[in-house]
Amino acid sequence: MSASFRKVLIANRGEIAVRVIRACREERLSSVAVYSDADRRSPHALLADEAVEIGPAPAGESYLNVDRLLAAAGRTGAEAIHPGYGFLAENAAFARAVESAGRVFIGPPADAIEAMGDKTRARERMVAAGVPVVPGSEPLANAEEARAAAKDIGLPVMLKAAAGGGGKGMHVVRDAAELDAALERATREAEGAFGDGRVYLERFLEEPRHIELQVLADADRTVHLGERECSIQRRHQKLIEEAPSAVVDEALRARMGEVAVRAAEAVDYRGAGTVEFLVEGDAFYFLEMNTRIQVEHPVTEAITGVDLVREQLRIAGGLPALGGAEPPAPRGHAIECRISAEDPARGFLPSTGTILGLDVPTGPGVRWDGGIRAGFDVGLHYDPLLGKLVVHAADRARAIDRMRLALEELRIDGVATTQPYHLAVMADADFRASDLSIRYVEEHPELLAEEPPELLGAAFEIAALLESTSGSAATAPSERPATRRSSELSAWVRAERDG
């Protein structure tokens, strides 16, 4: 590691803060965690070498408070700051503030963040760089411009916020009569989410796949480490990711990789980043670039053996990406399930409470990146992501089977989670055949049933095993106590309760 910094402050929380702390340990760097009042006893605050309280639970008074973050860095002598993802990770003003304070921002230059953060400016840069983009408009000044642009592009179209992503301000319009109301709604949402109400139109692709390319860039070169399939998403929020994509062959990977590298070089990128595309057949279109580490980075790590967070640290310290070596060839297949405190049987409504029990699966090819522990309180102040379950196997079919087993072993008691939904997806014939698009969730409403059949089967099998070892009889479904809905529990916990 370069001598440019020896101590890193992680301006984030949860599983990504834990992940960065572990990467710092491997690089023999000291770590500083920051925490709000609500996170005083959180795993990331307990794991770091030092921990500093930065304010009350609301993110605006803690994790989004630049002055308090910089003060914590000054107080602890942290020479570098890692933003993780979310919060201030893609905030160019924060990157500049870190650099102005004489510290290293572990991420791309502020200008690159700014260039890719404004979606319309990013489109302009990509067109200039020869990167294919979905046909679209400039930011719209009024409803009249929106109607003219929609007529030129052709329906259906999607309204999108110019200043951000994550599904905020995004609305599909299929009927011209709906455009004015949708524009007003999208503008209001964009203003509330990003403080910038500008929106623009893009042609809406009916059933594309969402595929992204991981890039690494140092001062001398930019490389890519292959693609991730991210098509299973709800309201533009990803639920399951895998690498590689089942529909990307070597020729398409080479074409997409070349374009991803060109996109990164167009903004003088440095560090780890992701170029996202919508793909239909052999055609692909630039969607956006995420100028940070991605939530789903572990699947790329699994198939390449590259520690992407360590690469971030090393590049920020002045070292070459991959130590100057060529990117390794991918091996096997990896899948990640985002385990969130949301109830899929109730439209993925957030679930709050205390984690009463936590047991995570282990074994060959199984990884858990988590930010919770037993006794941890899950509230509404932050993103509901609890952890990420990742598996790696020789091929996709084996990876799916391994994920099903790992999900059945996972135990999170105390709050409803997305675990039952992930189990249902792993058993679905279309998923197993990789018959996917970004409309997968809405096209498979049966997977949101309160009791996924395979989950019930797993529960009854374990209940039978408990019966044979304890001598107690399992309770029939009609006799179950109605203390909690069974979809809130893992198979293990339900079996213990019902047995």
Active-site residues: which are they?
A: 292
The residue among 225, 216, 232 whose CA lies nearest residue 293 is 216
Name the 3-class secondary structure at 281.
coil
Contact 280, 205 (CB under 8 A): yes
Cα distance between residue 402 and residue 27, in whole Å: 31
Neighbours of 26 (CB within 10 A): 12
Cα distance between residue 494 and residue 140, in whole Å: 52
**Could you give the C-alpha distances from 356 to 369, 377, 413, in angstroms and in order?**
19, 9, 5
Q: What is the DSSP letter of 472?
A: P
Residue 156: is the preceding peptide bond cis (ω within 30°)? Answer: yes
Contact 56, 37 (CB under 8 A): yes
Alpha helices in 110-241 (DSSP H): 110-117, 119-128, 143-153, 179-194
**Could you give the C-alpha distances from 90 to 23, 87, 264, in angstroms and in order?**
20, 8, 15
Tokens 């019966």 correspond to: 467
**Could you give the C-alpha distances from 348 to 85, 173, 339, 343, 358, in angstroms and in order?**
22, 24, 12, 4, 21
Name the 3-class secondary structure at 410.
coil
Contact 419, 351 (CB under 8 A): no
Neighbours of 477 (CB within 10 A): 11
Contact 239, 418 (CB under 8 A): yes
The residue among 84, 86, 76, 122 whose CA lies nearest residue 105 is 84
Q: Is the dihedral of CA 69, 70, 73, 76 positive or negative?
A: negative
Name the 3-class secondary structure at 44.
helix
